[in-house]
Amino acid sequence: MQPELKYTSQAQVVKVDRALGLVFGFAIVCKQDGKDYVDLQGDLCPEDEMLAASAGFMQEARVAKEMHGEEPGQGTVVFAFPLTGEIARALEITTKRTGLLIGMKPDAETLKKFADGTYTGFSIGGMALREEPAAA
């Protein structure tokens, strides 16, 4: 049986729009320069798993928490776009990075932290099954 683990992933914020109160960026990165992206905890999120997980998240949750905090309510994910290699090719998008793009509307205090550079990425958490790499 594979152990279940809590995981977190941090990804880069690319734009803060103070007028709209929105923060944009990759919430999950799957591939960078065509290679699997391994996060700070040594985990990776394949595109197919990101697609399934993000569909469930957008249908059922969309709540933003502040940097792994337990208290919900620091904002809402209002936009999400799963950018897999296959979707990018179908839309004729050339990209070096694939993953889940989001637009988040944080509360006023959290927006200030994004705007002043205190926060430079999104902090995404969830549950996953740890799999050991297949032997070569």
Considering the domain boundaries, does residue 98 fall inside one?
yes
Considering the domain boundaries, does residue 119 fall inside one?
yes
Considering the domain boundaries, does residue 136 fall inside one?
no
Considering the domain boundaries, does residue 134 fall inside one?
no
Which tens digit of pLDDT belongs to each residue from 91-135?
999 999 999 999 999 999 989 999 999 988 876 655 555 566 555
Beta bridge partners of 36: 31
DSSP 78-101: EEEEEE-HHHHHHTT---SEEEEE
Which tens digit of pLDDT belongs to each residue from 20-69?
999 999 988 999 999 999 887 788 889 999 999 888 888 887 666 655 55
Considering the domain boundaries, does residue 76 fall inside one?
yes
- Token pair of 23 as six digits: 């923060």
Report the candidate in 8, 4, 25 with the shortest Cα–Cα distance to residue 123.
8
Considering the domain boundaries, does residue 135 fall inside one?
no
The total of structural domains in the chain comes to 1
**Domain span holding position 89:** 4-129
- Give me the helices (H) in 10-107, please: 47-60, 85-90
Query: Is 0.85 topped by the overall pTM?
Result: no
For residues 94-133, one letter each, b for 16 or more C-beta atoms within 10 angstroms of the residue's C-beta and e for the rest, the string is eeebbbbbbbbbbeeebbebbeeeebebbbbeeeeeeeee
Considering the domain boundaries, does residue 102 fall inside one?
yes
- The amino acid present at 79, given as its one-letter code, is F
Helix, strand or coil for residue 136? coil
